[in-house]
Structure 1
Amino acid sequence: MDQRSELSEFLRSRRARLKPEDVGLRDHGRHRRVPGLRREELAQLAGVSVAYYTRLEQGNAQNVSVEVLDAIGRALRLNDIEQDHLTHLAKGKAKKKRAAACRPQQVRPALQQLMDSMDHVPAHLIGRRLDILGWNRMAAALLGDMSQLPPQERNLARHVFLDPASRSLYVDWHGKAIDVVSILRLCAGCYPNDPQLTALVGELSVKSEEFRTMWAAHTVAEKGHGVRRLRHPVVGELTLAYETLKLPDEHDLSLVTFHAEPGSASEESLRLLGSWSADQPVRTG
């Protein structure tokens, strides 16, 4: 992916989402041909010249300082994740990760054993590019058996956008899809020279109009925690909390777990799913 273009498009998208009144400016009723702040307004807020900001928005980040990036981030009302993403794009920190992006990720046997020991907790391991690298029996029963797919197709983004079953599984499919795209966009900022990531984005862009639209919005997010509502074909609707645990020695590998509130109907449904899955021929990892 072209780092200059990514920087340019990200800044444009963040500027377009702001209105003058959002940042304490008066519009004076002037006609605006495009939504959002003008470049000169953003430059004024950041305390830089219009020419300087224009060069930056055109992708020319040569010798830009962290202080200027912080000032622009404040003017754009960026959150911490967006600010880090801007710094990655402008300072070229991602270049240091070029070699890491080419190394295959593997699941240590102890990690797989840990997941397998979680009898009632669906869990899977997510790598860079949202590849699904490992899972336990409960995750296969809840989200689909990844062992039925070739390794190169075991990917959360491909599942959400290219597998029709995902639209039935996730009650709020649109919200799930935005989360996935935002995480993938953040990964792209860290690994712009990853050919497999570029190929994945290209494939999804060709095959899914919804992905193209969401990708163009340049939203970024980290894998985190929250609540997800699922509509399972065997046990019906469940409301599950999910947690993302990053591994300290493998920063691009995350363990994602799902659990139900104690005493809830979803806990009982999850228990039933565990009993049902015990009889299913599922291969994990």
Structure 2
Amino acid sequence: MNQETRLQALSSFLKSKRAKIMPEAAGFPAGSRRRTPGLRREEVAQLAGVSPTWYTWLEQGRDIKVSGSVLDCVATALQLNDDERKYLYALALGSGPSAAPTDEKHSEITPSLNRILQELRFCPTIISDRRCQIVGWNQAAAHVFMDFEQIPAEQRNMIRLLFTRKEFRRLAGNWEHFVGGYLAIFRAYYGQYVQDEWYERFVEEMKGNHPEFQYLWEQSQVSSAPDVLLEFRHAKVGKMLFHLTSFQVQGNTDLRCSVYTPAPESSTELKLGRLLERQD
């Protein structure tokens, strides 16, 4: 992304995180004259040990000099987790890989990974690249979500599908929560590959085509490995509960494995078994 876009993203991120911190949680009185939620800029500056003017400029997205040590203080003041810290540093410093390969060689599924994918018979599993392009899935995923084989390869982007396919909206009990998990992963990549202009083009495309995207994007968290509980309402078997666990595949590829594990003490695995039996 270009410098202007990067600094705008930094500004939005800082404002969002500041607004989510309750004053009393940071050691300040709640007060009755606060016009906006969260901390004031000067309070963040005080916690970070920087001047209010400098922090204001940082939050406004001005092109100012920053150092890692000062960003550490800002990250601590805003109570950022590890993924959010990395995101802050990438946006503020403009550092990161320019364009990691996304060709077939770096998106291919090895025989061992394919074996793992198929062995997860009762866990719908999706393999995607750093742009959330789906490159592999198992039969359980095809039965719970959709038959990805029927979608042209170039259109198998998970973020885009979440907003364009009615199947996902009908499936998710809380569609926004479902989308939020993937946007958290996508935002982590967005910060990691801050110099790759593809992300800026994709985000602008989604904002232009899907009004809901902009709101959810601005509200999204930053997480390379969200662990969330999702409720699906499958047309054939009814309510299903899954824990989403997402992790990066080891090796020199930039692939991610998203596993939907049936929630314990639910009938989800039994229902999934019935879905699979119908296709055998």
The TM tier, using the shorter chain, reads 0.7 to 0.9
| Alpha carbons 2:146, 2:167 under 8 Å: kept | no
Query: Residue 19 of structure 2 aligns to which amino acid in structure 1?
Result: A
| Alpha carbons 1:137, 1:277 under 8 Å: kept | no
Question: CA 1:24–1:143 in structure 2 vs 1: closer, same or farther (change >3 Å)?
Answer: same
Q: Shift of the alpha carbon at 1:181?
A: 2.1
Cross-structure match for 1:65 = 67
Cross-structure match for 2:268 = 266
From 206, 211, 214, give the equivalent of 2:213: 211
1:206-259 superposed Cα distances (whole Å, 9 cap, x missing partner): 222221111123532223333322222222222223332321214631222233
Query: Residue 108 of structure 1 aligns to which amino acid in structure 2?
Result: I
1:23-66 superposed Cα distances (whole Å, 9 cap, x missing partner): 2223554453x443222222111111122212322334654222
State yes or no: 1:108 paired with 2:109. yes
Q: Shift of the alpha carbon at 1:176?
A: 0.8
Q: Between Structure 1 and Structure 2, how many residues are aligned?
A: 275
| Alpha carbons 2:86, 2:191 under 8 Å: kept | no
| Partners of 1:67 and 1:193 in 2: CA distance | 22
| Partners of 1:195 and 1:80 in 2: CA distance | 24
Cross-structure match for 1:253 = 255
Cross-structure match for 1:7 = 10
| Alpha carbons 2:184, 2:226 under 8 Å: kept | no
| Alpha carbons 2:107, 2:254 under 8 Å: kept | no
| Partners of 2:202 and 2:78 in 1: CA distance | 30
Normalising by the residue count of structure 2, what TM-score does the alignment of the two structures yield?
Answer: 0.87
Cross-structure match for 2:29 = 26
| Alpha carbons 2:94, 2:194 under 8 Å: kept | no
Normalising by the residue count of structure 1, what TM-score does the alignment of the two structures yield?
Answer: 0.85
Which range moved further: 18-27 or 265-274? 18-27
Cross-structure match for 2:99 = 99
1:98-147 superposed Cα distances (whole Å, 9 cap, x missing partner): 13156554223412343234444322202112211111222111111111
Query: Residue 6 of structure 1 aligns to which amino acid in structure 2?
Result: A
| Partners of 1:20 and 1:118 in 2: CA distance | 45
Query: Residue 10 of structure 1 aligns to which amino acid in structure 2?
Result: F
| Partners of 1:209 and 1:159 in 2: CA distance | 15
Query: Residue 87 of structure 2 aligns to which amino acid in structure 1?
Result: H
| Alpha carbons 2:181, 2:228 under 8 Å: kept | no
Q: Shift of the alpha carbon at 1:197?
A: 2.7
Identity among equivalent positions (%) equals 33
From 197, 222, 225, give the equivalent of 1:223: 225
Question: CA 1:230–1:26 in structure 2 vs 1: closer, same or farther (change >3 Å)?
Answer: closer
| Partners of 1:28 and 1:265 in 2: CA distance | 48
Structure 1 residue ranges without an equivalent (≥5) = 279-285
Query: Residue 48 of structure 2 aligns to which amino acid in structure 1?
Result: A
| Partners of 1:176 and 1:261 in 2: CA distance | 16
Query: Residue 178 of structure 1 aligns to which amino acid in structure 2?
Result: G
SS in 2 for 1:48: coil
SS in 1 for 2:224: coil
SS in 1 for 2:189: helix
Q: Shift of the alpha carbon at 1:79?
A: 2.1
Question: CA 1:195–1:66 in structure 2 vs 1: closer, same or farther (change >3 Å)?
Answer: closer
| Alpha carbons 1:146, 1:154 under 8 Å: kept | yes
Q: Shift of the alpha carbon at 1:90?
A: 1.4
Query: Residue 26 of structure 1 aligns to which amino acid in structure 2?
Result: P
| Partners of 2:56 and 2:79 in 1: CA distance | 18
Cross-structure match for 1:143 = 145
Cross-structure match for 2:90 = 88
| Partners of 1:217 and 1:4 in 2: CA distance | 17
